[in-house]
Amino acid sequence: MQLKLDGKRVLVTGGAGFIGSHTVDALVAAGAKVSIVDMVSTGRRENLNSAATFYEMSLADERIEEIMAEERPEVIYHFAYFVKVPESLKNPMLDMDVLRGSVQMLQSAVAIGTRRVVFSSSGFLYGNTLELPASEELALDPITPYVVTKQALENYLEFYRKTYGMAYTVLRYAAIYGPRQVTGAMADYIRKLSGGEQAEIWGDGTKTRDYVYIDDVVEANLKALDIPADHPSPIFNIGTGHETTLNALYWKIAAILGVKPAPIYHPDRPGEQMRYCLDNTKARKQMGWGPKWMLDEGLRRTVEANRGQ
C-alpha cells in the first residue's frame, strides 16, 4: 500500500506495543512526523521506532495535555488500553484509568484542533451472538469490563464528533496476531511449545476465534484515514470472516514447531466469548480493505519471529 503522509503530525498511544509499533513503522515510512505515548507495560522498548518522539507515561497522567499542546497532532491513533482481560474481570477498576485518560486526551485534542482519531476497538463487543459472522449492525453485548470501556469510548468519540466536529474512525478488530505479540493465547502457545512445555487452554478448546494478521491490520489502520469526516457510521470490522478453534490453532503451532500437542485443559473462566467471527463486507466495500494473509502462512511467520525473540 502506497501512502504519503509527508510531515503530517501523528500521535500514537501504545506505540511500543504490538499493533501500535507496527503502525508507527508504517506511518514513519509514509513520511509522518510521529510521537508516541506509552507507559511500556505490555509493550517493549525495542519496538520503538527511533524516528518517533517517545513520551513514557500513562494516558491518565495530567502531563498528556502538555504533550498534546507540544506535538499538536493532526491525527491520533489510539491503541493504549489495559489488555489483561482476566485481571480486569476480577477488578474492573483496572480499566478506569485508561478510560479517564482517553477522555482527557480527547478533550485536549479538541482544544488543539486534532482532525481525526482512529480508535482500536474490539469485535468482542458483539458478545456471544449466534449471528456469525458478526456485522456492524448487530446489537452490542459486551461481557467483560474491557469491552464495556471500549463501547464507552466509541460513544465518547461520537459525542466529540457531534459536539465539536472531530472526525473519527473506529476499527473493531478480530484476534490480531503476528511478530512482536507478547500477550494472548496464541503468544502463550508459541512461547510454551517453543520452550518444550505444553500450554494451558481454558475450556475444551472448541472456542473459536477469527485470526487476522498484523500486516493486514496495519493496512486497515492507514486506510482509516480516508474515511470521510461526515460518514454516517465510521465503524468497521477488521477480520477475516473465518473461525478457527483453539484446538486447531494449538495443533497448527505444534506442527510448525515439530512437537507433539498435549495442551493442559482447565475449566472455563467467566466472561468468555465462545465463538468469534467478524463480517468484513462493510470494510471491503467502503474502505477498500480485505485480508490478504491466510492463517497458515501468517502462523509460520509469527512462530519464526517469536522463536527469535
In degrees and rounded to multiples of 5, residue 248 shows phi and psi of -65, -40
CB atoms within 10 A of CB 92: 14
Pick from 177, 175, 288: nearest CA to 239: 175
Pick from 88, 78, 79: nearest CA to 145: 88
Q: Please report the sign of the dihedral spanned by the C-alpha atoms of residue 151, residue 155, residue 157, residue 158.
A: positive
Residues 6+ apart with CB under 8 A from 29: none
Residue type, 160: Y
Q: Which residues are catalytic?
A: 146
Pick from 227, 243, 119, 225: nearest CA to 174: 243
What is the C-alpha to C-alpha distance for residues 41 and 153, in angstroms, rounded to an integer?
21
CB 84 within 8 A of CB 183: yes
What does the CA dihedral 277, 147, 287, 240 come to, rounded to 10 degrees? -20
Q: Please report the sign of the dihedral spanned by the C-alpha atoms of residue 134, residue 232, residue 122, residue 284.
A: positive
Q: Please report the sign of the dihedral spanned by the C-alpha atoms of residue 49, residue 52, residue 58, residue 59.
A: negative
